[in-house]
Chains A and B, each alone.
Chain A
C-alpha cells in the first residue's frame, strides 16, 4: 500500500530519514532500516573533516528545535567506509548527502562518494557559498544551477538538491536545479533562527544562529513543497521534509505534492522503538479509512 519509486529505486514506504539526523555512521543508517524507514540519508560529508561548531549545538523547547551542529563530519575518505557498510547491510536504499563551499568541491565529493554506490546523492546547497560572502547557493538560481551542473558531470548516480525555505522564490530555485541535472528536490532544510538566554545575555547556540526544525516548521514545509511542485511540474520527485512527526503530517506532505517524506527531529521525539514503522502504520490507517489504495492517489482536490 505504501510502496513508492524514487528516482528508479523502490522504497517499501515513502518515509526517508532526513540528513543530519543521526545518519553519521553505518550503524545508525542500519538502525533507521530496522526502525522502519523506506530509505535513509546520511549526514552531509565534505571533502575534508570538519569539527563543526562548539556546544551548545542544540535547542529543545516547546516543539521548537534548533541546531547549529556545524556540519561536523570525518571527510569523504572516511565517509566512504560508512556508506559502503550501510549500502551492504541496511536493507534499504541509502542516500548519501554531500556538502561543500564551492561548486568544484561539490563535484569532487560527489565523485568520491559515488564509489560507495549509494542509491542517490543529496546535495546540500542550502549552505554558505564561499564566493558569495557566505550567502547560500540555494539563494540564487545561477549558484544553485552551477552546483547541480558540476555534480551532474561528476557522477552518474541520481541526485537531489536540498533547498532552504529562507528565499523569496523557492519554485524558481527548484526549476533551475532540475534544468541543471537534479533528478529530485528535497525541501525544506531548517529555517534560520536565533535563541537568546537573557540571564547570560548571549545567544544560546555557540554559532549564534541555527536551523529551526520540529512541528513548528510544518506549515512552511507544506507551502514550499506545494510551490515547488507547481514550478517543476509532475514528473520530478520531491522529498518533502520539515516538521513531519505523525502519519497525518506525512499524508498532508504527500498531498502538498511530495513523492517521499523526510522525517528528522521526530525520530528522536517519538519515543517508540520503531518511529518510522509507527508513522507508516498511521498512514495506512488513514488511507484504509478514506478508501485510498496507493500513495500516488494522495492529492489535493483540483
Chain B
C-alpha cells in the first residue's frame, strides 16, 4: 500500500507577493481546519502545510525556502504526494467566533470561516500583514484588513483592530494563526476580554506522527498534541521563547 496519495494541481493562483494557493483535483474530506498534511515532492523534500480547504483540497503556500518556492511555481497538472491529515485542529465552539490571522497564517482561518458558516456560527475575521502586497484574500465572513504600513485597510497590526472590535462586541472564542509573538499578544488580549483562545503553532517537523520528537515545545509535541493549543500553551516554557533548528539545537525566538 502506498504511503502517499497523489494529488494533481487543478489550479495554481498567485494570491499576493509571496503566497500561491494550490487547488487540487481531489477532496480531503476528513481534514479539519487547523490540521496539516505532509507534502512530498519526490527527489526534493517533504514538509508540513496547513489545510486551507477540503472540497477540493486547497493549500496556501508562502514562498520561503527552496521547497516552498518549488510548490509555488507548480502549474496545473503538476503532482504532489501527500500524507495526512495529521494533528489536532481547531475546536469550533460557541456562537461568536473571532478569527485573527497574520500573513499567510490567514490560510487555515479561511477554511475555519467556511466551516463556521456551515455550522451557522457567526464569525468575524481580522487579516493582517506588513503591507498591501502581503495581504491574503478575505474569508467568507466579514473580514477587516490591517497593514503595518497603512498601505491597505487599518494602519497598524491586528491588535489595533482586535481592541477596537472587542470594545464594541463580545466573542466566545478567538482563533489565531500567524507569527508566534502576534498569537501570544492576541491570546493575552482574548483572555483579558474573557474569551477563550485557540492558537495554531509551528515548529520544525520531521515525522509528523509523534515519533521523532523534533517538533517538541517543552513537554508537548506540536504534531500530535497540536498544532492547535488552547490558552494553557501560554504557560509552556518554550512558547515564544525557544524553537529548535534542523539539528534540534535550541534557538531563541
Contacts and interface: CB of A to CB of B under 8 A. Distances in A.
- The secondary-structure label for the interface of chain A is loop
B250 A78 contact: yes
Interface in A193-223: 195, 197-200, 202, 204, 206
Contacts of B216: 22, 24-25, 27-28
Nearest to A203: B42
A267 B211 CA distance: 8
Interface stretch (B122-130, B188-196, B217-225): B217-225
Contact of B224 (A25, A43, A62, A268): A268
Interface in A40-91: 43, 49-52, 54-62, 65, 67, 69, 72-75, 78, 81
B45 A55 contact: yes
Contacts of B221: 22, 28
B248 A58 contact: no
Contacts of B4: 197, 204
- The secondary-structure label for the interface of chain B is loop
A211 to B, nearest CB: 12
B206 A55 contact: yes
B239 to A, nearest CB: 12
B3 A25 contact: no
Interface in B169-219: 206-214, 216-219
Interface residues of A, number: 46
B47 interface: yes
Interface in B117-169: none
A26 to B, nearest CB: 9
A81 B210 CA distance: 23
A65 B211 contact: yes
Contact of B45 (A43, A54, A202): A54
A27 B218 contact: yes
Contact of B3 (A34, A43, A204, A265): A204
B25 interface: no
B81 to A, nearest CB: 6
A164 B9 CA distance: 43
A197 B213 contact: no
Nearest to B6: A199
Nearest to A195: B3
A21 B221 CA distance: 12
A31 B217 CA distance: 11
Interface of A: 20-25, 27-28, 30-31, 34, 43, 49-52, 54-62, 65, 67, 69, 72-75, 78, 81, 195, 197-200, 202, 204, 206, 264-265, 267-268
5 contacts: A49-B249, A51-B246, A55-B206, A74-B245, A74-B248
